[in-house]
A and B are shown apart, each in its own frame.
Chain A
């Protein structure tokens, strides 16, 4: 009894070794360093910044706003995401792979680009306002979108819908429909069968999706800053102001700790809940769980859902793409607005270093840099995430797992500004000097991607019937071979989902990258940001053009992964 317990604990320790060391060196150490530095600046003792934070009316207001906008955004995302997940999980229809790939694109778009895209659609000079002004001969734009709470909510749903579609949809697609059928034969109606069978079984997936969405909305930065305007501030935005504008590092550190504590509490609650509700479920091949849209009802439902998803997900992106090839303002050297029309000038401009800037990077180089970082992030995140997910899946009740699971989520709740500064403070000097290392950025991206990887893999690993591993073992497969021939192929799908997350997070990450990237090696979002922060239509146009390129890149990558999945891994 004791010997086998000891072996279990040793195995868990071995699995946790790499992920945990990584977190210690690249998360806790930089974070500790920046907190230490911050509090060292507090003039009247350590308690003073805490007192300041807890008595301040404005901090309380920020806290309240952060919570309610995140709650509302999460509920909205679930309200649209769950029917969408159902559509993807249970029905086979033409163009599904394309729609699924499209749904993932917003997730990789830098917040600045999303703000620009929504502006191109709904802003004062966006397509819709321009069209209505033209149609009804109005003097002022009729729709006020920018700087409203609606803009924030819509952008949050736009961003995070894919999390619900993927996490819930994927799990749902392998749920045995016979379970619901059994309930129906036992007298449950459609709704009762959903409420008593499907919903409880989906609960872990829904909970993990909701938690991720909530944390993203809770720590939202770019959307609030750009689309919400100065009236709205979340904790993360407040940390940014306190750090960059006011240089009140002690208060920023306190707010950062507050945000981290909230994330930790959320995650602990979630872990307790999910351990209680998740159970091994026989996964069924999709060919048995999916059917065609045959009945009238399902067709109407599908039509409404597809229209809704297309509108929400693609209209801003289409607005962005079209604005990048349309000239509305007079071009260089032109006097009048006579020739608004199609143009590829913005794309051509990208390859011209007009100002002979020292840090000029041709677009192809930026793309290569971004793809390189993304590839490294996928490798690193999977290498570290696999053993962690495996340990979590083996025994959810073991003490190390219960303690470590919430800690994995911490990087998600950490302010990118704080973390970026932490990297600069801690990793630019001995004992760990990574100033010149090209690994610094993939490491930062891996921290953000890591929770996604673990969250995607664990439920899938947990769902593998223990008997399959035992059967393989009795047939002569060593533990390594069991992992290779049973676990890996069975979680192939989840592995690709995890890889997609890591890839796209790396492509789109902006906050931390902006602080730690070396100016001569910028990623695409950084180059876009450079264009946006310079005045003039030509710079704005180039930002639109490069954003469109990033969008196409992300969509292409995601489509390729969908294809690869069908060809290689095989369905079960």
Chain B
């Protein structure tokens, strides 16, 4: 992979009146890399895109493209593409004219424009939609037109703002893999904004997780999932088996004391902490170092996996268990085992 740094954001700040949307964000994007910006709504991710696009100006911080400052380049000269959250298709132009707009602005010859638009329409699978009125498109079709419009100019950087926000689940899965293939194939540099971790993990090379205007964690999807940097990240990823505990040192061993018993941990500190038990790193056997017993109180069938809620005394924990050979039954007592090094994560206690 090419390792030239394409986009550099250094300590970006932005406020809207009293609201501080961004509080010092620094990100690097390499050429040909797909970086997803992930976070709950209101975390500042769309503002970040608007700053990169040049629609908004940062209050503080710098913005570089291959080492050259971008601050004084107006949006129309940046050569970036932005696909808007609600698509922002021009209501007074048909599909073709919407897609051709960017090429016309670059004063390309009509013949070449026709050819490029045609090619892009084929790429997104809308070959027959050329003269369609954009006001009559469905969500998925509108999304493809918006993508085609952003792609056709071959932007140095493509930014996608919640591109799959308004399409149904089936189409979403399909488009997710289509977009990834398309972007890979074109070796496109991409900033991809979403609130959906599945989407971010499926498409991105690296994920930037944001919280309330700040970067919480940056890493590959695997890194982030296996080692969430904070309790917030863990919760955001849907890891909900969180227990208060206290680590003590007994006989040279570090042990965490929780409501479900004492468990060995690899952390070399003591004090009040929050313990995370990964829902997927448990087995329905007794091979692991730790063993727990619980009563099944709820099961949800999820295809290959079965989400099972177990009651362990006062505490209830959620695990993803294999459905075979048979679904756990409600009321049944299950024995699970796990390896603490693999399944347990410890976070400092938050108030």
Contact = CB atoms under 8 A, between A and B. Distances in A.
Interface of A: 1, 3-4, 283-285, 288, 465, 467-468, 470-479, 481, 485-486, 489-490, 492, 570, 572
Given A285-B91, A468-B90, A474 B76 contact: yes
A468 B135 contact: no
Given A475-B76, A475-B105, 13 more contacts: A283-B91, A470-B82, A471-B82, A471-B88, A474-B53, A474-B81, A476-B106, A477-B101, A479-B76, A481-B76, A481-B105, A489-B92, A490-B91
Contacts of A284: 135
A572 B76 contact: no
Nearest to B152: A475
Contact of B105 (A470, A476, A492, A572): A476
B80 to A, nearest CB: 6
Contact of A467 (B74, B76, B84, B153): B84
A470 B76 CA distance: 9
Contacts of B133: 285
Nearest to A7: B57
B76 A477 contact: yes
A285 B59 contact: no
Contacts of B101: 472, 475, 477, 485
11 contacts: A288-B135, A468-B90, A470-B50, A470-B88, A471-B84, A473-B75, A475-B81, A476-B79, A481-B76, A485-B101, A490-B92
B80 A474 contact: yes
B110 to A, nearest CB: 16
B55 A476 contact: no
Contacts of B150: 475
Contacts of A3: 57
A199 B335 CA distance: 64
Contact of A474 (B55, B59, B135): B55
Interface in B121-159: 133, 135, 149-150, 153
Closest 4 A-B residue pairs measured CB to CB?
A475-B102, A476-B105, A467-B88, A471-B88
A284 B133 CA distance: 12
A474 B105 contact: no
A467 B86 contact: yes
Given A284-B135, A288-B135, A471-B82, A477 B88 contact: no
Given A470-B55, A471-B84, A476 B92 contact: no
Contacts of A465: 88
B91 A473 contact: no
Nearest to A486: B90
Contacts of A478: 74, 76, 105
A477 B91 contact: no
The SS class assigned to the A binding surface is: helix
A341 B101 CA distance: 64
B53 A470 contact: yes
Interface of B: 50, 53-55, 57, 59, 74-82, 84, 86, 88, 90-92, 101-102, 105-106, 133, 135, 149-150, 153
Nearest to A481: B105
B1 to A, nearest CB: 27
B216 to A, nearest CB: 26
Contacts of B105: 472, 475-478, 481
A3 B101 CA distance: 30
A3 B105 CA distance: 28
B92 A471 contact: no
A467 B205 CA distance: 29
Contacts of A285: 91, 133, 135
A55 B84 CA distance: 64
A154 B75 CA distance: 55
B81 A572 contact: no
B85 to A, nearest CB: 8
Given A467-B86, A481-B105, A490-B92, A473 B55 contact: yes
A205 B244 CA distance: 59
A572 B97 CA distance: 14
A570 B106 CA distance: 25
B118 to A, nearest CB: 18
Among A288, A472, A475, A570, the one with the most B-chain Cβ atoms within 10 Å of its Cβ is A475
Nearest to A3: B57
A118 to B, nearest CB: 43
Contacts of B135: 284-285, 288, 572
Contacts of A283: 91
B46 to A, nearest CB: 11
A570 B92 contact: yes
Contacts of B153: 475-476
A361 to B, nearest CB: 44
A486 B92 CA distance: 8
Nearest to B50: A470
A471 B91 contact: no
B90 A470 contact: no
A489 B97 CA distance: 13
A318 to B, nearest CB: 39
A478 B78 CA distance: 11
Nearest to A489: B92
A472 B90 contact: yes
Contact of B149 (A467, A470, A475, A572): A475
B99 to A, nearest CB: 10
A465 B105 CA distance: 20
A489 B106 CA distance: 20
Contacts of B57: 3-4
A1 B59 contact: yes
A478 B101 CA distance: 12
Nearest to A472: B101
A470 B75 CA distance: 8
B284 to A, nearest CB: 48
A476 B102 contact: yes
Contacts of B55: 470, 473-474
A14 B316 CA distance: 66
Among B59, B76, B133, the one with the most A-chain Cβ atoms within 10 Å of its Cβ is B76
A490 B88 CA distance: 14
Contacts of A472: 90, 101, 105
Contacts of A4: 57
Contacts of A485: 101
A288 to B, nearest CB: 7
Nearest to A283: B91
A542 to B, nearest CB: 48
Contact of A476 (B50, B59, B76): B76
Contact of B92 (A470, A474, A572): A572
Contacts of B77: 476
A278 to B, nearest CB: 19
A236 to B, nearest CB: 42
Nearest to A569: B92
A80 B40 CA distance: 51
Contacts of A468: 88, 90-91
